[in-house]
Chains A and B, each alone.
Chain A
Amino acid sequence: MLIPSVLAEAGPSLDLISDLRQLTTYPFMVNALAAGSIVALMAGVVGWFMVLRRQSFAGHTLSVMAFPGATGALLVGLSAPTGYFFFCGTAALLIGGAEGPDRRRNPAQASAVTGTVQAFGLACGFLFLSLYQGVLANYETLLFGTFLGITHEQVLTLAIVAAVTLACLAIAGRPLLFASVDEGVARAHGVPTRALAMGFLLLLGLAVAATAQITGALLVFALLVAPAATAQLITPRIGLSLVLTVAIGISITWVGLGLAYFYNYPVGFYITSVAFVVYVVVRVGRSAVDSPTLLHRRAQAAHAGA
């Protein structure tokens, strides 16, 4: 979507305070920033576990389920959220079921099923679209999102879903972490790894369904995967990594919205570009820090110091 830049009297002044003031002049921008922040927070934390569990492909599949969800709801005359939750939830159950009793035992099957579900979901979406006789305005926003015209109620709904999601993760966080990095031992410790795997996918589906209505299917995936992947590259400390994930997510959302406000291009493009650039910079930096020569030199220095 485009934020009409005519609303911005001039370009950015590059004075942060006055730019921020200008950004928050209009209620639609305040709602957009609030919704974007909530999405970044929720998607960041859920995405952190998703990246750790190497389920980015499943996350992407759940994200694109927003497309058949929205078009399907439209076709049968249900509310859009019903369609989102139905398709994301069903896909989560299918993917979770396909992973088998031990996720790591058959990763090839699991990803094959995930890919099939994704293709089928997209095909369904396109079918619903062509069956729908009326005029569907702006269906590209299904994929690319709109931050325009977000109502106060939508922000509230989003906040409630985020609170529920984060509460679930707070309660199940540690066993989920254990099951994610060390499934066999977690199971031996009595962690219900199978139930957690299914529960996590449903939670991922819930988070995606709630946010895709605003951000679109592709943007929610960017906010799921990029901040978490970046933060995990920066630090192996769990707490710090989670805080960084949320900070990066919220920052790129604000920068993206700000750029879209001042320069008339789609906000999704800005947010994904900023996310991608940040990831690449961190990735290159990480490779440089971890390069064998540097590690060797550091080890030598430590040895000399000891």
Chain B
Amino acid sequence: MSALSTAEQTPGGAGAREKIAPARAPLAVQLVDAEARIGEHVIWSEVNISIAAGEFAAILGPNGSGKTTLLRVLLGELALARGTASVLGRPPGDSTGQIGYLPQRRHFDAGTRIRGVDLVGLGLDGARWGLPLRRSTGKRVDEVIELVGASDYARRPIGALSGGEQQRLLIAQALVSQPRLLILDEPLDSLDLPNQSAVAALLERIRRQQGVAVLLVAHDVNPLLSYLDRVVYFGAGRAVVGAPREVITAATLSRLYGAPVEVLQTADGRLVVVGLPEAPAHHSDRHAHP
């Protein structure tokens, strides 16, 4: 699996990068024969994942299949029961400074009277003790707000902004410390369709311009489909990893689940997975399982 996915071996096809990662750059994420347990309960096992520097990868699968568990392993919050994991070439939890992390949907209500720009700044110096004087962080903050296209509303209270606007500022916050890996937990969830495509396109642009690897948990692969280098598909306590069009097929998913699964393709290229054992398929676009 890992041989397939190193940067050197994907010069063409989906892996073609405008900004090729240096050949010796460590893998963004690597799991070898990994098993995760919560208590005595095995969440998944025999999982092998490798995501190269600068790649765009999605973690898919039904609810409860262990997507967020993988993020917890990568963030160093949960130790593997078996196997090894490394993030940016180091043990999980050792490289927090180089990871931008966006937890599952946070919403700031109207009562949060803090400017977006200050929230973004906290991503840079929020963990620093001492007198809260801004030390030349303003320029970097403005840069990253410009990058995500939030300049027009970054100085308004975050609670007064729409979900899509808040999400852009949160992405800016995760990016402000110039991470080499961006980890996002369902960043498209609870956004409307136009905002889903816009945020997906934004993430692709960031990946390209900043050379940062993007790893996100997604419910619906479709807004991301054209950008993804790799998908990690969880199910039945296992995971399959590969290019999206290889993984999201009836044959692969049926093998993963050990049960017949159908993958339908719509005229515009969207994928709809039908017959997942754990989670019944929905027929609306937004909730269709990839």
With A182-B106, A188-B75, A188-B103 known as contacts, the answer to whether A238 contacts B118 (CB < 8 A) is yes
A185 in contact with B157 (CB, 8 Å): no
State A177–B134 Cα separation when bound (angstroms): 14
A156 within 8 A of B: no
Interface of A is mostly: helix
Any A CB within 8 A of the CB of B101: yes
Which residue of chain B has the shortest Cβ distance to A232 in the bound complex? B113
Distance from B287 Cβ to chain A, minimum over Cβ atoms (Å):
25
Which parts of B111-134 form the interface with A (CB within 8 Å)?
A: 111-115, 118-119, 122-123, 125-132
Q: At the interface, yes or no: B255 with Cβ under 8 Å from chain A?
A: no
Known A236-B114, A241-B113, A290-B160: A184·B126 in contact at CB below 8 Å = no
Tell yes or no: A27 within 8 A of B by CB: no
Report B-chain residues with C-beta under 8 Å of the C-beta of A277: none
The answer to whether B114 and A186 touch across the interface, beta carbons within 8 angstroms, is no
Q: A188-B75, A190-B96, A290-B160 are in contact. Are A178 and B126 (CB under 8 A)?
A: yes
**B125 near A181: Cβ-Cβ < 8 Å:** no
- Against B, the Cβ 8 Å flags (1 = close, 0 = not) of A231-268 are 01101111001000000000000000000000000000
Quick one: which of A52, A175, A181, A237 has the most chain B CB within 10 A? A181
Give residues 73-121 of B contacting A (CB, 8 Å). Answer: 75, 96, 99, 101-103, 106, 108, 111-115, 118-119
| Contact indicator A178/B127 (Cβ below 8 Å) | yes
Q: Is the CB of A175 within 8 A of B127?
A: yes
Cα distance A13–B216 when bound, in Å?
69
CA distance A50 to B120 in the complex (A): 22
Q: Do A170 and B113 have beta carbons less than 8 Å apart?
A: no
Residue of B nearest to A302 (CB): B152
List the B side residues contacting A236 at CB < 8 Å: 113-115, 118, 156-158
Interface flag for A105 (CB, 8 Å): no
Instruction: Establish whether residues A177 and B127, one from each chain, have CB atoms under 8 Å apart when the complex forms.
Output: no
Select one of A52, A172, A182, A241 contacting B119, CB under 8 A: A182
Contact (Cβ within 8 A) B106 A174: no
Taking the complex as formed, is A107 at the interface, i.e. its CB lies under 8 A from any CB of chain B? no
Complex alpha-carbon distance, A174 and B130, angstroms: 8
Interface string of B129-151 (1 = CB under 8 A from A): 11110000000000000000000
Give the chain B neighbours of A185 by CB distance below 8 A.
Answer: 101-103, 123, 173-174
List chain B residues, Cβ under 8 A from A52: 114
Give every chain B residue within 8 A of A278 (Cβ-Cβ).
Answer: none
Which residue, B99, B106, B122, has most C-beta atoms of chain A within 10 A?
Answer: B122
Count of chain A residues with Cβ under 8 Å from any Cβ of B?
27
Residue on A nearest B159 in the bound complex, by CB = A236
Give 1 or 0 for each of B251-262: 1 = CB within 8 Å of chain A CB.
Answer: 000000000000
Q: B122 contacts which of A170, A172, A174, A290 (Cβ < 8 Å)?
A: A174
Contact B132 A181 (CB under 8 A): no
Complex: chain A residue closest to B126, CB-CB = A178
Q: How far is the CA of A238 from the CA of B96 in the complex (A)?
A: 27
Q: Which residues of B contact A190 (CB under 8 A)?
A: 96, 127
With the chains together, A81 CA to B242 CA distance in Å? 67
Tell me if A175 and B126 are in contact (CB < 8 A).
yes
- Minimum Cβ distance to chain B for residue A281 (Å): 17
Q: With A174-B132, A189-B126, A236-B157 known to touch, is A54 a contact of B111 (CB < 8 Å)?
A: yes
Contacts of B118 in A (CB 8 A): 236-238
State the CA gap A172–B112 with chains docked (Å). 20
Look across to chain B and name the residue whose beta carbon is closest to the beta carbon of A235.
Answer: B113
> In the bound complex, what is the Cα–Cα distance between A174 and B128 (angstroms)?
7
CB distance from A13 to the nearest CB of B (A): 40
A113 at the interface (CB under 8 A from B): no
A-B contact pairs, 24 of them (CB 8 A): A54-B111, A170-B130, A170-B131, A171-B129, A171-B131, A173-B132, A174-B125, A174-B126, A174-B128, A178-B122, A178-B126, A178-B127, A181-B108, A181-B119, A182-B119, A185-B123, A185-B174, A186-B126, A188-B75, A188-B96, A188-B99, A188-B103, A189-B127, A236-B118
Residues of A within 8 A of B (CB): 52, 54, 170-175, 177-178, 181-182, 184-186, 188-191, 232-233, 235-238, 241, 290
Which B residues are within 8 Å of any A CB, using their own CB? 75, 96, 99, 101-103, 106, 108, 111-115, 118-119, 122-123, 125-132, 156-158, 160, 173-174
Q: Besides the contacts A185-B173, A188-B75, what 20 more A-B pairs have beta carbons closer than 8 Å?
A: A52-B114, A171-B130, A174-B122, A175-B127, A175-B128, A178-B122, A181-B122, A182-B119, A182-B122, A185-B102, A188-B96, A188-B101, A188-B103, A233-B113, A235-B113, A236-B156, A237-B115, A237-B118, A238-B115, A238-B118
Give me the 9 closest cross-chain CB pairs, A-B, nearest first: A178-B126, A236-B157, A184-B103, A232-B113, A174-B132, A189-B127, A236-B115, A173-B132, A188-B101
